[in-house]
Amino acid sequence: MSDWLEDFIAGKEGAELLADDRPRSLLLPLPALIGSMQALKAQGFDMLNDHMAVDNPEGEHIRLLWLLCSTESGELLRVCCDLPRQQPVAPSLNALWPVAEWQEREVYDLFGVLYSGHPDLRRLFLEDDWEGWPLRKDYEDSFILEPGKP
């Protein structure tokens, strides 16, 4: 089970297996992302199940997570990638899985991650003139109400 994944990252610099299992996680450096994803798709991961981001203000990075799924073997695989928080730019996976176009729009909308090569990078949920990225931990909005505070 574990062998092919270890072989897979063997040749890649900066790639490592993360401790999380179920699904097994893989941390890739940004430059190797597109190539690895292409290879993974060729290996049978035909479904891009989900794409999300986690903000990490202490580490000054935003971690992007892709969840891949293979309908042949039924295997799940999580691929992670860290981006700098100031200028997060990631390559778009739109050409591999069409659904990435909209998943990336969601992450752009809520975290402000930009995707190069994206055909239609618009906000997904919020108005086009919304300021700020609401799911970042340092997002401030006078509209937000907190319990105990007037």
- What is the binding site for other proteins (CB under 8 A)? 19-20, 22-23, 25, 46-50, 52, 54-55, 65, 67, 71, 74, 76, 78, 87, 89, 97-99, 102-103, 106, 108, 110, 114-118, 120-129, 134-135, 139, 141, 143-147
CB of 44 to other proteins, least distance (A): 11
Q: How far is CA 112 from CA 52, 54, 57, 88, 150, in A?
A: 12, 12, 14, 8, 29
Structure token pair of residue 16: 């490592």
- Please identify, using beta-carbon distances, which residue of 4 and 149 lies nearer to other proteins: 149
CB of 95 to other proteins, least distance (A): 11
Cβ proximity to other proteins, 13 vs 140, nearer residue: 140
Q: How far is the CB of 31 from other proteins (least distance, A)?
A: 16
In the complex with other proteins, which residue's Cβ is closer, 7 or 129? 129
Nearer to other proteins, 13 or 127 (CB): 127
CA distances from 50 to 28, 53, 66, 76, 110 (A): 17, 10, 6, 11, 15
Tokens at residue 19, please? 């401790």
Token readout for 72 is 């042949």
With beta carbons less than 8 A apart as the criterion, state whether 62 and 111 touch: yes
Q: Least distance from C-beta 114 to other proteins, angstroms?
A: 5
Per-residue tokens: 116: 């190069």
Pair of tokens at residue 40? 């993974």
